[in-house]
Amino acid sequence: MLDRTARTLSLCLAASAVLHLALVAQLPGFPIQLDAQETPLNAQIVELDPPVPPPLPQPVPKRAIKQAVAPKMPLAPVAPPPAAIASPAPEPIVLPGPEPIVLPSPEPAVSATPEEADPAASEMAAAESPQATAAAPESLAPIPDTEPPAAVAEAASEPPQRQTGTIRYEVYYGSDRFSIGRSVQTWSIDKSSYRLTSFSETTGLLGLFRPYHYAYVTEGRVEPDGLKPEAFTVRRGRDGERQATAHFNWASGELTFGKLGSARTAPLNASSYDLLTLFYQLPRMGLTPGQLQVSVTTGTKFNTYLLEVGAEEVLELPVGTLRTIPVRQVRRPGEESIAVWLAPEKRYLPVRIVFLDEQGDMTAEQIATQIAVGTLAADGR
């Protein structure tokens, strides 16, 4: 039984193996896998080898042909010989490349420079080329040779740009000439503007027991007809605080003046001045004997006055013996007045100033004790 059974099993196993082998041999995938490993590799090698060389040679002639097609337009008249078309074709392939590079650069440079863009080209050449820059000084060389002497002569003939100076006064009280203080006037005048100051203070016993300061400051323009004040300030008192101002608005023809907080207005005229400007304007008005009419503001008042220009007088002063021209305010009854003596030998500066009260008596007198005149350049040196 056992032998029989074993033989049966062996036969069954053998039959099963044969069937499996037959089935496996008939499967399509098994032989394809074996052939696919060999044939696809050969097919890829065969297909890839031809494309690799063709792309390199093929695009080159195509681009060359495209470039050669463009010059066919100029080559059309030379097309009668068909055989020559094939031979020149490769030669122009190299020539058209440099032709566009060479033509644009020389043509604009040669044609535009001398004919169309003379000014621009000349300026560019002058700015870039060393020869042009070297030629520029040569053309300018004669100009400095001829002009500087004239410029030097003009500079030498021109007056100083700014005239400055200081006058120091001793201040006396009454006809007994009791010294009560001192005063200093300064001026700075150039071709277009001016600034004048006057500062007075009590000295000695009076300054100790009754200190008092009095200051004028005026600024304005210098015009052909004389000084034109623009702003005038008055300070007075123990501490020299500001008391009054006057503003000359020549554009509107109006003067604004008065104490602080109580300003008034009045019409201006061509002969309107502040008190300090008047002293330096008088020499510009022609000091011939006779009368002058002016409008003057003291900061708190603005009135029209009549001035009397007198004959020359010789005064003995600390600054020397001087010829002077007196200019006196024609006194009105009940009003204060003033008189000034101008010295032609001292640039018509006021070397003596006298103040009179309502009765015409002298209340104070300023006598020049020192005069210093100088000039300043535009930079203040």
Question: Which pLDDT value is given to residue 218?
Answer: 98
172 closest CA partner among 217, 136, 202, 195: 202
d(CA 325, CA 348): 8
| Residues in contact with 242: Cβ distance below 8 Å, sequence separation at least 6, in sequence order | 233, 234, 235, 260
Level-2 CATH architecture, domain 164-376: Beta Barrel (2.40)
Structure tokens at 148: 């500087």
pLDDT tens-digit series, residues 85-121 = 444 444 444 444 444 433 334 344 434 444 444 444 4
Question: Which pLDDT value is given to residue 9?
Answer: 58
34 by Cβ neighbours in 10 Å (0-12 / 13-18 / 19+) ranks as: exposed
d(CA 65, CA 375): 89
Question: Which pLDDT value is given to residue 3?
Answer: 54
d(CA 27, CA 283): 138
Q: Alpha helix (H) ranges present in 70-117?
A: 72-75, 82-86, 90-94, 98-102, 106-111
10-residue block means of pLDDT along the chain (381 residues)? 56 56 47 43 49 52 44 45 46 42 39 41 42 36 39 48 92 88 95 96 84 92 95 86 91 95 93 96 92 95 96 96 96 91 96 93 94 67 46
d(CA 267, CA 252): 9
